[in-house]
Amino acid sequence: MIRASHWWWFVRSSATVRLAPVIVAAAVFVTMSNTQFLSPYWLDLSAKTTTSTLVLCPALAATTAWDSGRWRGVSMTAARSSFQLFGWAMTTAAAVTAVAVGVCLAFLLPKQTPQVGSPVVGLLLLPIAGTLGYAALGWVLGRLFYDLDATGLAFGLVWVWLAFSPTVQPFWLRNVSPNIGTSCCSIDQQLAPNALLGPALLSLGLLVAGALLAQWSFGRVAVSIAAAVLVGSAAVSMWLVRDLEADPVEARSGAQKCTSGEGTEFCSWPEHGDELAEAAARLEPAASAMREVGIDVPTRLREGVPTGADGVQFSLEGARAADWTSSLALSPLADLPPSCLESNGGYWPAGVLYDAVALWLLQTAGVDEESVADVDPTIAAEVQAIREGTGGEQAAWYAHTMSALRDCNEI
């Protein structure tokens, strides 16, 4: 029989602590594999750290299940109750998670270092909340099954839930997961209301239910109360995220930094303030050229915010100036294909015109030839013929074509 003479003995013998280096390394690997698109935006970097929960939650649920099973028959002196052992297990799980999140953030910062703002504390704490909830589940399984059975069951259940819930509907199934990093956030997005509260509340329910069973064992009353807490937290979590789409984000709001060109005022998000002057100089000729052929380009353009009848906007996310101009040129096509495709089986007769309009917009805005070099020669010849027309003729063609692209009728 194991004798617990001090909490330090629990820490030294804990599978969570012994495997911590491996768990942290795996969490960093998974996080860094999700950085193909990374913005100099604290919300994005903070959200990326939650990707680590794909490893942390199942791994710590498994190690906590193992520890729970091993310490089931402990003779206690320093640990006066199963609840105290539960508290030690949760503390070690939280500590390992905190280290993992810190290391992940340290690896992310050299890739993109935001110049304004600060880390989003709620997102950095979400992995800790998530792992505590699933570690509590592992503790309960360790009390119910043998060590190896409990360990495998805890890892399998949590991993399947976190890995496959994003692939199914309804969307609330994925939005109560602590992994937000695969869904958030480009620089023109912000978290939707309750995006953090939903998964945090479900994890809290798991943690409280586990604590109740650790304190009162598995008596009928304790099990009933724990089940009620878990079901209640799950129901409230589901209600909180019921209106969220596949990604728990919405269009970003807030102040932008602005500068005036010759005839247009350009406003960008604060993170892109250093590039704004150069961008304005490059985007001004494109905006003027687009106006000349009938595109509704307002005199004040905002990054990531559609304006005017054609929904013109721009983005400074690209590394090249040509990317900035392309984002402005192609922004009128952002709401295509039309929503009618959802009700007619995806039939879009005017879709054959899309490439021609896109090429025409790019060439009108003055995007360099290398960026459009791979266009079908037939479409290129057609667009060249259109561009040889007068400004009025091009404007009429653009208006007619865009009208056709925005519905599903025959052309």
Q: What is the layout of strands, in order, in the sheet containing 300-302? A: 257-260, 265-268, 300-302
Q: Is the pLDDT of residue 313 over 80?
A: yes
Name the least confident of 169-173, 262-266, 384-388. 169-173
Contacts of 377 (CB under 8 A, 6+ apart): none
Evaluated on CA atoms 197, 202, 206, 212, the torsion sign reads: positive
Higher pLDDT, 10 or 285: 285
Instruction: Return the H-helix or E-strand segment holding 281.
Output: helix 276-292
pLDDT (0 to 100) of residue 80: 58
The confidence band for 6, taking pLDDT boundaries of 50, 70 and 90, is: low
Between CA 320 and CA 268 the distance in angstroms is 16
Between CA 317 and CA 310 the distance in angstroms is 21
Between CA 127 and CA 308 the distance in angstroms is 41
Contacts of 151 (CB under 8 A, 6+ apart): 62, 63, 65, 66, 69, 142
Burial class (CB in 10 A: 0-12, 13-18, 19+), 385: exposed
Contacts of 397 (CB under 8 A, 6+ apart): 386, 389
Helix axes 53-70, 20-32, angle to 10 degrees: 160
Between CA 279 and CA 272 the distance in angstroms is 10
* pTM for the full predicted model: 0.84
Q: What is the pLDDT of residues 106-117, one digit of tens each?
A: 999 999 888 888
Q: What is the pLDDT of residues 342-390, one digit of tens each?
A: 887 888 888 889 999 999 999 999 887 665 667 788 888 899 899 999 9
β-partners of residue 267 are 258, 302
Q: What is the pLDDT of residues 133-164, one digit of tens each?
A: 999 999 999 988 887 888 999 999 999 999 88
Backbone angles phi, psi at 202, to 5 degrees: -65, -45
Give the pair of three-digit tokens for residue 137. Answer: 């589940």
Average pLDDT over residues 384-408: 91
- Asked if 130 and 237 touch (Cβ cutoff 8 Å), the reply is no
pLDDT (0 to 100) of residue 75: 47
Query: For 258, which DSSP code?
Result: E
Phi-psi category of 169—alpha, beta or left, where left has phi over 0 and alpha has psi -120 to 50? beta
